[in-house]
């Protein structure tokens, strides 16, 4: 599955991520305009009880050896602060330890990290993009 996802173009991976998040339970996730997205590849909402949180996603289709680092996660947080309550960073590779540490900082917008292995596991568990 990961080999297939890595073979997609960047825009196709963003479209897949939109489908993935919508099927996972997010509401009205939509891919943003290509080029001038300000670091935000998709945006929508997550309903929790009677509340609804604005959510933004960053999607990186990377080779297995190309890890997402702290600067990428910090930049994404900066791009969404003030407009969104939750961030989701999806990659087909993995995250550095520093990226994992900075994803949750007190007083900052939390960033959920989904690496390639987790992505594949969720796809299988939820039946997203696969047929059994």
Distances (CA, A) of 43 to 67, 73, 77, 78: 23, 16, 14, 15
Q: What is 2-126's CATH number?
A: 3.40.1350.10
How many CB atoms are located within 10 Å of the residue 131 CB? 4
Tell me what pLDDT residue 30 has: 84
Q: Which residue has the tokens 């609804």?
A: 52
DSSP 3-state of 34: coil
Structure tokens at 113: 């990290």
Tell me what pLDDT residue 34 has: 63
pLDDT in tens, the chain (132 residues): 888 999 999 889 999 999 899 888 888 888 887 665 567 999 999 988 888 999 999 999 999 999 999 999 999 999 999 999 999 999 999 999 999 999 998 899 999 999 999 999 999 888 887 776
Tell me what pLDDT residue 116 has: 95
Tell me what pLDDT residue 51 has: 87
DSSP 3-state of 19: helix
């Amino acid at each position: 599955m990961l080999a297939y996802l890595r073979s997609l173009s960047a825009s196709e991976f963003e479209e897949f991520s939109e489908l993935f998040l919508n099927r996972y339970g997010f509401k009205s996730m939509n891919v943003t305009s290509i080029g001038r997205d300000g670091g935000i590849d998709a945006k929508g909402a997550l309903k929790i009880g009677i509340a609804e949180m604005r959510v933004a996603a960053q999607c990186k289709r990377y080779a297995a050896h190309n890890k997402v680092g702290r600067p990428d996660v910090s930049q994404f947080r900066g791009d969404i602060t003030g407009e969104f309550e939750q961030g989701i960073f999806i990659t087909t590779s993995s995250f550095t330890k520093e990226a994992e540490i900075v994803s949750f900082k007190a007083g900052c917008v939390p960033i959920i990290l989904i690496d390639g292995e987790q992505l594949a596991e969720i796809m299988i568990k939820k039946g997203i993009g696969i047929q059994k």
